[in-house]
Amino acid sequence: MLITNIKALVGVHPKETSFLRGSKLNQLPVLENAWLLLENGLIKDFGPMESVPSSGAKFETLNAKGRFVFPSWCDSHTHIVFAAPREEEFALKIAGKTYEEIAAAGGGILNSANKLQQATEDELFESASVRLSDMIKQGTGALEIKSGYGLTVESELKMLRVIQRLKAAFPIPIKASLLAAHAYPAEFKENHKGYIDLIINELIPQVAHENLADYIDAFCEKGFFSLEETALILEAAAKYGLKPKIHANQLSVSGAVQLGVKHQAISVDHLEETDEEVLTALSKSNTIATLLPSCSFYINIPFANAKGLIEHNAIVALASDYNPGSTPSGNMNFVVSLGCIKLKMTPEQAINAATINGAAAMELSEQVGSIAIGKKANLMITRPMTSLAYLPYSFGQSQIETVILNGKIYHD
Ligand code: NIG
Ligand code: FE
C-alpha cells in the first residue's frame, strides 16, 4: 500500500533509537508532505512527495491529504482480562470514598477475583476481545496485559491462557505479565508466607513451564505487598527469566521504585507519589517510569511528576492501566491528552511517551513505536487536522479515521 499526500508523517525517529531519555523526549521528528510505502506488513520506505514512487497499478494507493500519520499507540500497562466491571464502586467513589476504603469494604481487587474465579476461559476471552477491539479502533497497536484477578494457581493460569488466546486472535503484539502478587486472597490475609510460597513454588514454575508470561509484576504498596515480599517474588521469577515490571508508588512513597531499579525492572509504573530520591534513582537507570494519568484522573489521586522525571533525565512512558477498579478506560488518546493537560508534558513529549517509550516498556522497540523502515506497519491516520497539537488538544474526541495494522486497513 502506498499512502500519499500525508500532511505530516509523525515519529520518523532513526531506526536505532529505541527510547528517549530526559529532554530528548521533546524530539518528535516529523516529515511534512510525505508518502509512506507498506509491504508485507512492514514499513518499506517513506519520503517527501517530490520523490513519490510512481504507483501505476502496482500498489493500492491511499490519499491522506490534510491528514497526519502516527505510529500506533503502544500501551505497556493494562489489566483488560476481567470478569465484570465494578460500577457499584462508582457511586461510592462519587460519594467520597477513597480507593483504599472501597477495597477495605470488600470492593477492589478481591471483588474482581471472586468474579473471575467463577468465569470460564471462553467468557473471559469474549469480554476481553470486545475491550481490545475497542482499544485497537482508538489507535492501540501493541499492548501488555496482566493477570492478577485470579489469585489462585488455577485462576491465574486461566487468565494467562486467555492472554495467550488474545495473542493468537489479534493482529498486534501482546506481552503478558504475571501479577499474582496483586492482593492477598482472604484465606491468606494472616498468612502472607503461605501465598508467597504458592506463587514461588507452584505458580512461577508452572507459568515458566507453559511459557505463559513475559514479565513478573507485583503491587508493591502499603496494605498489599511489602518491599521484602516483592523482593522474594522478583528473585524467584528471575531464576525463570521473568523480568520485572512493577506497580510502584501509587498510593505512597514506599521504596518500590528503588527496589525495581535494583532488580533492573523493565519499568516501574504509576509513581503518583514521588520524592527527590525517586527522581534520582531513575535518573541514571534504564528502568522506565511508566505514568498512568487516567488512573489519577479516575480515582482522584495526585498526577505523577512527569516534569521532574524528565528534568532528572528519566525515561518516561505513558500507558492506560485499563482495569475495572482504578481506570475503566483504555483510550490512549485520552491518556495523551491528560499527559499534556495534567502532567504538563508537551504534545511531542506525550506522543513519544505513548509510542516509542511505550514500545521500549514492552521490549518491542525493534517492531513498533516509530516510523522506521523495517518496523511493523501499525499506524493510525487522523482526520484532516490543523496541527499535531490538535490531537491531544481535542480531548475526549477521537481524531483517528483509519487504523492500519500489519500494512492493512483494520476492520473488526
Ligand atoms: O493498577 N494498583 C493496582 N492495580 C490496579 C487496580 C486494580 C483494581 O482496582 O482492580 C491499578 O490501578
Ligand atoms: Fe495497574
From the CA of 326, the nearest ligand is 1
Segment holding 165, helix H or strand E: helix 153-169
Check residue 56 and give its pLDDT. 64
Report the relative pairing of strands 243-248 and 215-220 from DSSP bridges: parallel
Short-list 143, 173, 145, CA closest to 161 = 145
- Which residue CA neighbors atom 5 of ligand 1 most closely? 326
Please give the distance, rounded to the nearest whole angstrom, from the Cα atom of residue 108 to the centre of ligand 1: 8
Residue 207, C-beta contacts closer than 8 angstroms, at least 6 positions apart = 156, 157, 160, 178, 213, 240, 242
Residue 182, C-beta contacts closer than 8 angstroms, at least 6 positions apart = 109, 146, 147, 148, 149, 151, 217, 218, 219, 224
Contact by Cβ (8 Å): 109, 182? yes
Q: What is the pTM of this model?
A: 0.97
Please give the distance, rounded to the nearest whole angstrom, from the Cα atom of residue 266 to the centre of ligand 2: 15
- Which residue CA neighbors atom 9 of ligand 1 most closely? 325
Q: What is the largest CA-CA distance in the chain?
A: 72
Domains of the chain by range and CATH?
Answer: 2-71+370-409 (2.30.40.10), 74-360 (3.20.20.140)
Q: Provide block-wise average pLDDT over 10 residues at a time, the chain (412 residues).
A: 97 97 98 97 98 81 97 98 95 91 88 97 98 98 98 98 98 98 96 98 98 98 96 98 98 97 98 97 98 97 98 98 97 98 98 98 98 98 98 96 98 85
CA distances from 161 to 71, 154, 166, 239, 338 (A): 29, 11, 9, 22, 33
Check residue 137 and give its pLDDT. 97
pLDDT digits (tens, 9 = 90+) for 10-40: 999 999 999 999 999 999 999 999 999 999 9
Contact by Cβ (8 Å): 113, 185? yes
pLDDT digits (tens, 9 = 90+) for 122-174: 999 999 999 999 999 999 999 999 999 999 999 999 999 999 999 999 999 99
Check residue 50 and give its pLDDT. 96
From the CA of 224, the nearest ligand is 1
Please give the distance, rounded to the nearest whole angstrom, from the Cα atom of residue 17 to the centre of ligand 2: 27
